[in-house]
Amino acid sequence: MSILPQILFILVLGVAGYILYKRVSFLRRNIFLGKKETRNDQTNQRWKTMLLVAFGQKKMFKNFIPAFLHLLIYVAFVIINLEVLEFIIDGLGGSHRIFAPILGSAYGLAMNFFEFLAIAVLISCIAFLIRRNVMKVERFTKPELKGWPAMDANLILVIEIILMMAILTMNATDQILAERGLEKYTLLNGLFFSSMLQPLFIGMNDVTLVFIERFAWWFHIIGILAFAVYVTYSKHLHIFLAFPNTWYSNLKPKGEMKNMPEVTNEVNMMLGIATEAGTETPTEIGRFGAKDINDLSWVNVMNAYSCTECGRCTAECPANLTGKKLSPRKIMMDVRDRAEEVGKSIDAGGPGLEDGKSLLGDYITKEEINACTSCNACVEACPVNIDPLSIILQLRRYVAMEESGTPAQWNAMFQNMETSFSPWKFSPSDRFNWADQVKNEEAK
């Protein structure tokens, strides 16, 4: 018995594992280009959020039909990949369907269920291709999705269709060979869906069928390994990052803005209030707000890599709906693209963050961030709890506090808030006079 297939399989598995390790290390380093941030409080709530939002896909079901189709793909991805374990064991040991004699009749039932899920994936992927390319759902036609992002979305759907067809082809030819009594092939309890493909192969000789069955087997396992590597370059990285991303969600009320520690400590020192960092003035003054990805937190950068590019955030954004250039999805894509650019520069021995570029200006414009109303619609809409608003606010803080580059109308508002504690220019003691006027008018 030749061990060449096992050697080849080990080689394929090793190469895929090495590439995947290098890519994961690259992504991890890029994410931690962001500043340190600790979010390990409220552990029970974080587990609950991850289970409901990432596992349960709770926020997807605001639109039932695409959510249901997505759920079918998700369930199939989790369950069908259990079969990959058998593929790996068979590949390493030179066996064929090693679990079949162990599980008995239950194995046939499991294979029928896997085939049902494969058909569900086929239907769902075709439906999603139609939605993107025929129906042209508006959120899939925005400028930021032109070129590679649109191709990436279509490519992943086509790959999933091909992989599912490989499973069905493998099972169909496998069962014909088992019926003919060939050694190694196990006859199962009527595989319903793949049996529909058997008429395509029934007239072929044994040698041809073995070739097709083995080709489908190798194509599927190599396809799965290649898919795992490709996902790390694709928007579909959310398949894995959705879980840590929802775990590290911002659990504070959505209307609560995060204070800047630098400003808080300075005010406290002026008022003689003890600060966590003590009363000593820091030797190096930190940057106010964010200009580049290293000024954001690592959670912000992980948010960017977790983005599904589904566009629900942009579809709900009132600024975008009224024709403004702001697109929360583009903000997240820009952060990811900048992290990729910096990471590749570092690996190539280049300048990294000191390349003369920055997130603000070269990727994201002031016009975009100034259009944001801070309404949190994008945060509420995201199916994996990404927070574009946090990034927008940090960029705006840099513009306001480092560049003094906010619009003149905003500066007047800031001054009024500093002196009168409200956006309007009148004395704090007169703040509620308007209410009295309303009451008097109503009384009349």
Helices (H), 272-424: 298-306, 312-316, 318-321, 328-347, 366-370, 377-381, 388-401, 408-420
Q: Which residue has the tokens 């799965």?
A: 224
pLDDT tier at 279, thresholds 50, 70, 90: very low
C-alpha span between 204 and 436 (Å, rounded): 91
Residues in the chain: 444
Q: Residue 417 pLDDT more than 60?
A: yes
Residue predicted with more confidence, 258 or 30: 30
Q: Which residues pair with 360 in a beta bridge?
A: 364
Of 66, 56, 84, 173, the closest CA to residue 123 belongs to: 66
The number of beta carbons lying within 10 Å of the beta carbon of residue 155 is 14
C-alpha span between 118 and 81 (Å, rounded): 11
C-alpha span between 88 and 104 (Å, rounded): 20
C-alpha span between 188 and 171 (Å, rounded): 10
Of 268, 291, 296, the closest CA to residue 281 belongs to: 268
Q: Which residues pair with 35 in a beta bridge?
A: 297
pLDDT tier at 116, thresholds 50, 70, 90: very high
- Contacts made by residues 405-409, CB under 8 angstroms, sequence distance 24+: 405/366, 406/370, 407/370
Q: Which residue has the tokens 């192969």?
A: 201
pLDDT tens for 177-207 read: 999 989 888 888 788 999 999 999 999 999 9
- CA distances in angstroms from 317 to 320, 372, 382, 386, listed in the order given: 5, 8, 11, 14
Fold that domain 261-430 belongs to in CATH = Fumarate Reductase Iron-sulfur Protein; Chain B, domain 2 (1.10.1060)
Q: Residue 153 burial by CB count (10 A; 0-12/13-18/19+): exposed, middle or buried?
A: buried
pLDDT tens for 284-333 read: 556 889 999 999 999 999 999 999 999 999 999 999 999 999 999 999 99
Query: What pLDDT, on the 0 to 100 scale, is given for residue 284?
Result: 54
Query: What pLDDT, on the 0 to 100 scale, is given for residue 285?
Result: 56
Task: Give CA 160 to chain center in angstroms.
Answer: 18
Do 161 and 76 contact (CB within 8 A), yes or no? no
Q: Which residues pair with 297 in a beta bridge?
A: 35
The number of beta carbons lying within 10 Å of the beta carbon of residue 230 is 17
Helix then strand count (H, E) for the chain reads 20, 0
The number of beta carbons lying within 10 Å of the beta carbon of residue 340 is 16
C-alpha span between 99 and 161 (Å, rounded): 26
Provide the sign of the torsion angle of the four alpha carbons 68, 70, 71, 77, taken in this order: positive
Percent of the chain residues past pLDDT 90, beyond the cut? 70
For the chain, the domains span: 4-31+63-247, 261-430
How much is the pTM? 0.87
